[in-house]
Structure 1
Amino acid sequence: MKSCAHIGVAIAVAATPLAFSAQSHATAFAAWQVAGVPFGDTLNARKYPSNASQKQAAYPNGTVLQMTGRCTGGVNLLDIAGQPKEKQRQTIRYRWCEVWHGPAQNDHFVTGWVYGKYIAPY
């Protein structure tokens, strides 16, 4: 019986780095905020990177977004994170970038796309 308990502890200890690894990967996503949206308007998150795509959510200026890092044109927000903020904004100004947002479905958050002109590094 003791050996079973030790095995359970060993498994839990061995699994702990995996849990932290998954958490640290999740927190590696870029936080950006909605900025520059005209007064009284909101930034639409869309299902696909297109103005014609279905709207999923709308965010006012100042909303902090959890970005996946992926943008159209092969740009990754994590790759440009060390650059000055204005340079980052210029890089994604005419690109669509993927955002995580709710509601969660089947324990998975929904992703959508926002236009880079209206987001800024947080």
Structure 2
Amino acid sequence: MLNRIVRSFAAALVVVAGLAASALPGDASAFFAWRVADVPAWDTLNLRAWPSSGSKILVAYPNGTVLSMTGKCTGGVALDAINGWPKWKQREMVRTRWCEVWVDPAGNGQFRTAWVYGKYIAPL
């Protein structure tokens, strides 16, 4: 009888552990707050569909606009790896890279990714 109770308890524990594990996200998402910086006063920073200066412009923002960065930049630079470094060093790491941004270009709740050139962004 005791053996049967132990087996039932063990089976229930396995089921509960499986349910708990399936409720956890597969991988965590993190966004990094950076801002538009060093764009000439008369100009705006173009956010593009792809990491290329010839890519379609989705939206443009002036200096000071806070951006929600996904953490991915071209050349293998990951913002989570450089987060916490001195701000000047973080800027140097992305200066010649394209970095991915989470944006709502039409302002209608239809978010998508876009790309900005690293020379014109700075960590908050």
Q: What is the TM-score of this pair, normalised by structure 1?
A: 0.75
Aligned residue number for residue 73 of structure 1: 75
Shift, 1:74, TM fit: 0.4
Q: Deviations over 1:63-107 (max 9, x none)?
A: 000000000000001110121000000010000000000158xx7
Choose the corresponding residue for 1:91, options 87, 93, 107: 93
Contact 2:59/2:105, CA 8 A, preserved across alignment:
no
Number of equivalences: 105
In the alignment, what sits opposite 1:29?
31
Deviation at 1:29, TM superposition (A): 1.2
Name the aligned partner's letter for residue 30 of structure 1.
Answer: F
| 1:38 is aligned to 2:28 | no
The question of 1:55 aligning with 2:83 is answered no
**Stretches of structure 2 lacking an aligned partner (at least 5 in a row):** 1-15
Is there any run of 5+ residues in structure 1 with no aligned partner, and where? 1-9
Following the alignment from structure 1 to structure 2, what is the Cα–Cα distance between the partners of residues 39 and 31?
22
Q: CA RMSD in A?
A: 2.6
Aligned partner of 2:97: which letter? R
Tell me how far apart the structure 1 counterparts of residues 57 and 113 of structure 2 sit (CA, whole Å): 12
Counterpart code for 1:82: G
SS, match of residue 62 in structure 1: coil
Match of 2:116 in 1: 114
**Cα distance, 1:109 vs structure 2:** 2.1
> Which residue type is aligned with residue 122 of structure 2?
A
What's 1:4 paired with? none
SS at match of 2:111: strand
Equivalent-residue separation in structure 2 for 1:71 and 1:85 (angstroms): 16
Q: CA deviation at 1:53?
A: 0.3
Percentage of identical aligned residues: 62
Larger radius of gyration: 2
Runs of 4+ aligned residues of structure 1 deviating over 3 Å after TM superposition are none
